[in-house]
Amino acid sequence: MKLQSITLTNFRQFEGEQTFDLSTDDVRPVAMLFGANGAGKTTFLNAFTWCLYGILSDDLEQKNRLVSDGAWARTAIGASITVAVDIHFEHEGLNYRLLRSMSLRKESDLQQSGAPQIQLWVTSPDGSSEIVEGPQVKVSSILPESFSRFFFFNGERIEKLVAGGAYAEAQKDIKMLLGLEQVERALAHLKKVDNKVTADLRKKDGGALSKIQETIDNLNERETTTKDALVVSEGKHAALSEEREGVLAVLRQHAEAAPIQERRDQVGKDLNLARDEMEAAQNRRSHLIATRGFLAFTDPLCGKTEAMAQSLYRRGALPAPLKREFVDQLLDEETCICGTKLAEHSPAWKQVQEWRHKAGLQEVETAWQKLRGQIELIGGARNDLREALSTVIQEIDDLNDRISELVAESSELDYKLRDSRHEEVALLESKRIELDNRIAARLQEIGGLKNDLQTIAKDLEHQNRERSKAEIEDELAARALGRSNLVTHVRKALAEILAIREADMRRRLDAKLKEIYSEITFKKSYIPTLSENFELSLYDEVTNLPVGKSTGENQILSLSFVAAVSTLARESKELQDAEVSGAPDAGVYPIVMDAAFGSLDVNYQTAVSRALAKLAPQLVVLVSKSQGLGNVLTELRPFLSHLGVIQSHASGSGVEPEDIELSGTPYPYIRPSETAYSKLQEIEIR
């Protein structure tokens, strides 16, 4: 989806019909609009979402006043006036025109609500145009409302995209954006298919098969309910964790609490490390006992074996490879093993007789030496086991002492903060304790839900096996069972595929996030991380502690996240559609952002501008003079296709005219006026 132009008609501050060209190319993908506070930058941003989905953001005041005040005031009672937004855009080789409009009849000075109408036209490459039926469905198929928030946003509030309870929702949106919703949709459809094909099994009233199927249905219902509850619980846990981190960040910045909190952070890090080392030591101890523990019980056995073998050795009865009984048998049979006749007193008979006298002597000696060596090896291994166990047990004891010391120190630090003479610190610590308790309860709930899901999965597997073994005489039911078994196997395979693809998606997004963030930040030790639950966090690689993020750092992190999502969406769409549609803009979505640089210092303004200009396939930037002039404009100028100003005409006394200078030329920025309105002016790029 690439924007070509937008036309606003009596929309909020923008009186009459006003158009701004947004067409860009690969070399110059950026359009930039300057506007003073209150001039209409947020309105301009909302014009896109209102046209596309009929929605307005929460930061837009008095949402019911869609018609510009001046146009409404000039409309006579009983007359009608139209408010509209018209967007032209290109998508996968086709040109679209989307118009959302509303006609309001003026009954009083107060604006009433109305029912907007939406129309969509598509123009083919041959120039033919036609009306698209179901325009909202088509728009949502191009860019679903659920993840349009990643592409149309207020930069000052962007961190809310991935804050707290928004994690689970963000994960759901991104899975859709990156093409995983097809697998999830297939799983949902297969469940419906299974319900249909098992209808005949449910009809076997009172039969064993009917009861099994009823159990399976109940388990499936429980699984769905439990999964939904888990998503909600994980979202609440993420929100609590975010809130807790915010409390700790304030403590780290408080003049009195900072040294104590800094020490508590270090103690917490050391405690986690000690507990990890304890777990590793306990695992080593378990491995020693499991693989070599039997040696501890071999001492009496080795002593008895050695005594018995020594007695046999002295009597020459220790088993050996060549035994006298064997030679005696040869002499009795008067035949050697080589076939020679052993006549009594013959040379051959005398030679074998000599073997008989020697038989067992050397071999017994060899066997005795070998046995003694093996017994000694077992004894040595037992001593090695004793030493190894002693070492690991001592390590566990030392770690126990270390953990106890750290826990005691942590408790003492907690006490210092909780009983601080500074009321603010004490309240923050009380809040932290409350959040810790709530987080622990939520984690316990999450663990219980996960255990329930494991139990349900085992029960489902058992019931499906029982159903497969059930005897069925009815031919229709037998066919239904076969189809249901097939659907079950397919669902299981798709679930495994989805898990693999989700893990790969998170890994790719995390890698792209790190790459983009590293290009922007000057704090190279700061590393962003996207957890398995899509929790977005920032860690200091040196201390391995969470970073108490400032507003600016939150903004950089969130902008990096949005840029990573945009990049992967394009890459994923190209992989999916390149061979099918060959669309040149597969996976391309515009980024329209308001006030993206307001909370950033000069260095970060430059870095973010440079990164976004290179990463976004189309970028519309709405800024004030303080946000955009200087480094931002300098960095974006080589990429600009369109530059404009939202002229603010402000009513009231004391309004001073103000200009904005672009390329050495002054342009109206604020002007006094009898009525308040805004006007779009495009500026030639030089």
So where are the chain's domains?
2-143+589-683, 197-253+420-474, 288-322+360-413
Its pTM surpasses 0.75 = no
Q: Distance between CA 17 and CA 86 in Å, rounded?
A: 10
Predicted confidence band at 581 (pLDDT cuts at 50, 70, 90)? Answer: very low
N-to-C CA span, the chain = 28
Which residue carries 């989905």 as its tokens?
A: 53
* Dihedral over alpha carbons 378, 380, 383, 388 (to 10 degrees): -100
Residues 6+ apart with CB under 8 A from 578: 586
Answer yes or no: is pLDDT of 580 > 60. Answer: no
Answer yes or no: is pLDDT of 470 > 80. Answer: no
Indicate the helix (H) or strand (E) that contains 315. Answer: helix 299-315
Answer yes or no: is pLDDT of 359 > 60. Answer: no
Q: Distance between CA 240 and CA 159 in Å, rounded?
A: 16
**Which residue has better confidence, 468 or 401?**
401
| Alpha helix (H) residue ranges in 316-422 | 324-333, 347-358, 361-418
Q: Distance between CA 620 and CA 607 in Å, rounded?
A: 17
pLDDT value for 545: 67
Answer yes or no: is pLDDT of 239 > 90. Answer: no
Which residue carries 């052993």 as its tokens?
A: 342
Answer yes or no: is pLDDT of 369 > 70. Answer: no
Q: Distance between CA 95 and CA 89 in Å, rounded?
A: 6
Cα angle for residues 195, 199, 205 (degrees, 5° grid): 135
Residues 6+ apart with CB under 8 A from 84: 7, 8, 9, 10, 11, 99, 100, 101, 102
CB atoms within 10 A of CB 324: 15
Answer yes or no: is pLDDT of 255 > 70. Answer: yes
Answer yes or no: is pLDDT of 675 > 80. Answer: yes
pLDDT value for 582: 47
Exposed/middle/buried for residue 311 (C-beta within 10 Å: 0-12, 13-18, 19+): exposed
What are 182-199's pLDDT values in tens digits?
676 777 777 777 777 676
What are 453-465's pLDDT values in tens digits?
999 989 988 888 8
Average pLDDT over residues 45-72: 89
Least confident of 99-103, 141-145, 414-418, 577-581: 577-581
Answer yes or no: is pLDDT of 654 > 90. Answer: no
**Which residue has better confidence, 574 or 28?**
28
Answer yes or no: is pLDDT of 222 > 50. Answer: yes
Cα angle for residues 293, 295, 296 (degrees, 5° grid): 75
Architecture label for domain 2-143+589-683: 3-Layer(aba) Sandwich (3.40)
Cα angle for residues 479, 485, 491 (degrees, 5° grid): 135
Q: Where are the beta strands (DSSP E) in 28-128?
A: 30-35, 80-91, 94-105, 117-123
- Mean pLDDT value across the chain: 81
Contact 5, 592 (CB under 8 A): no
Predicted confidence band at 381 (pLDDT cuts at 50, 70, 90)? Answer: confident
Q: What percent of the chain has pLDDT over 90?
A: 27
Average pLDDT over residues 48-70: 88
Average pLDDT over residues 620-627: 88
At what angle are helices 166-177 and 181-197 packed, to 10 degrees? 90
